[in-house]
Amino acid sequence: MKFKILSIVLAVTLFVSIAVASVQARPFGSGKGHGGDGRHEMSFAPVHFLCMLNLTDDQEREVATILSKYRGKIEEVATARAEAGKNLMDVTGADDFSETVIRQAAQKLAAQDVEAAVLRAQIMNEVKSVLNAEQKERLNSFRERRDHWMKSRPDKRLSDLDDWIAAHSK
């Protein structure tokens, strides 16, 4: 029974990961995002973390119920965000530069990011209510590591840019 629930959670995880993958512009660096092909992926629930929290059978069922409840909304938000991201990529790569068009496309993507952030927080709020104190502490440690990584990214990208400029300025 535990294997069946874990399989369901992993299937939902796979679906959520695929559904929320979006394309965004990355101005500097190699052009490779988290997906390895220029895509930056966003997850509505850190499902891969849930698998490391040693959930009980009851917790797995509760989390699966929560994720199932939001499945339609996840798809809706992920689809709109992916379309907005693709549109931004299209207009930033267009032959004719139009600051107005680019700003409008970026604002549409930003609006979708807001919707995704609110939905992600709503889902995680419900998921956290299922966790015990030790599991919440472990989840927080995952978040702290992610936050540290996120804070180091701008420095790394600027360093990559500086290296490229230095290598090609001679």
Quote the pLDDT of residue 1: 54
Q: Is 130 strand, coil or helix?
A: coil
Do the Cβ atoms of 63 and 50 come closer than 8 Å?
yes
**Strands in the chain per DSSP E:** 22-23, 39-40
70 in Cβ contact with 123 (< 8 Å): yes
What DSSP designation does 23 have?
E
pLDDT at site 2 = 53
What residue type is assigned to position 25 of the chain?
A
Say how far residue 149 (Cα) sits from the centre of its chain. 14
Output the tens digit of pLDDT for each of the chain's 170 residues: 554 444 454 444 444 444 444 333 333 333 334 443 333 444 555 667 778 889 999 999 999 999 999 999 999 999 999 999 999 999 999 999 999 999 999 999 999 999 999 999 999 999 999 999 999 999 888 888 888 888 888 888 888 888 899 999 98
> Any idea what the Cα angle at residue 162 is, between residues 103 and 87, rounded to 5°?
25
